[in-house]
Amino acid sequence: MKLLPLVVSLWLVPCCGQPRLLVVDKGENMLAILDVQSGKILSRLPTGDGPHEVATSADGSAAFVTNYGAREPGHSISVIGIAKNTAREVDLGPLRRPHGITESHGQIYFTAESNKLIGRYDPASDRVDWLMGTGQNSTHMILISKDGSRMFTANIGSDSVTIIERTPQQSPAGWNETAVAVGKGPEGMDLAPDGRELWAANSRDGSVSIIDVAQKKVIQSLDLHTRRSNRLKFTPDGKRVLITDLDAGELVVIDAAARKELKRIPVGHQAEGILVAPDGAAAYVAVAGDDNIAVIDLSTLAVIRRLQPGKGPDGMAWAR
């Protein structure tokens, strides 16, 4: 119990520029903005139908939410003005089932699952100005290296991860794509802080595929026997990997160097999104089935708190 004040002092104490927690509430088509210390909802803003993931602008002034849809395919991104509490939708036209989303060098990149492609939304011009096909089924999640030279997509329906490298001298499109075969149903994935490895959690066979980014191939597979892995995140120091098991309601903690499981932490029904505090002190796990966020002390590997953002929390991000 003595470690709780330490976590609070590292990350939860309010100060100038204190980050706020953004949480997508799928069950209510809302984005909740929370004060982390008090747990209070500062504001709730409407999104489109079936929001799933959220990314923030580099300056933290805006958030971008993919509206995946429910029974009918979604085709929009919600643009949220965080300081001014504004919300509007950008219609993506024929691009259906937008899901993964991330910011890179002022641009917003997203997946369009039904179209097997990546799109880029330019906030300055307020339009989608670039598209690139992956040729893979259910292109679901996307992440981009810090320098913007590589993009990665998890393709659930093709059992692959696509590595897309910037090669302006070798390809007319300026990018070279390599589809790497992994386990069944890759969904959650993350790049190690040093950029050398990408880990992908395979939702349909309980495994994790470890990809050497330079070699563009799987160098090791871990059989974790998860029932349905959902998201995967490295801690900022690269020492641990966190994986949510949606059906088991657990957070699985892995020693990244030893490739060994350390612990399974029960968090509740339908463990989905993961967000790690930048200082690595705590992890925030969206427990969609119980309508809460489990806050986990990463030194004790125990749940220390619950936040109540709304119904069906999933994707999360920090904003200042």
In a domain, 272, yes or no: yes
Domain of residue 279, residue span: 1-11+227-312
Asked if 130 and 115 touch (Cβ cutoff 8 Å), the reply is: no
CATH number for the domain that contains residue 247: 2.40.10.480
pLDDT (tens digit, 9 = 90+) per residue, 200-246? 999 999 999 999 999 999 999 999 999 999 999 999 999 999 999 99
| Residues present in the chain in total | 320
Nearest Cα neighbor of 101 from 246, 320, 314, 294 is 314
In a domain, 131, yes or no: no
In a domain, 123, yes or no: no
In a domain, 59, yes or no: no
pLDDT (tens digit, 9 = 90+) per residue, 268-300? 999 999 999 999 999 999 999 999 999 999 999
Confidence (pLDDT) at 11: 43
Report percent pLDDT > 90 for the chain: 90
Confidence (pLDDT) at 3: 36
| Gyration radius of the chain's alpha carbons | 18
* More confident of the two residues 4 and 121: 121
CA distance linking residue 190 with residue 229, whole number of Å: 13
In a domain, 178, yes or no: no
pTM over 0.75, yes/no: yes
How many domains in the chain? 1
Q: What angle do CA 209, 248, 72 make, to 5 degrees?
A: 80
The DSSP code sequence of 154-180 is: EEGGGTEEEEEEE-TTT-TTSEEEEEE
pLDDT (tens digit, 9 = 90+) per residue, 81-140? 998 999 999 999 999 999 999 999 999 999 999 999 999 999 999 999 999 999 999 999
In a domain, 39, yes or no: no
pLDDT (tens digit, 9 = 90+) per residue, 147-158? 999 999 999 999
Confidence (pLDDT) at 84: 92
In a domain, 50, yes or no: no
CB neighbourhood size of 273 (10 A): 25
CA distance linking residue 143 with residue 170, whole number of Å: 23
In a domain, 285, yes or no: yes
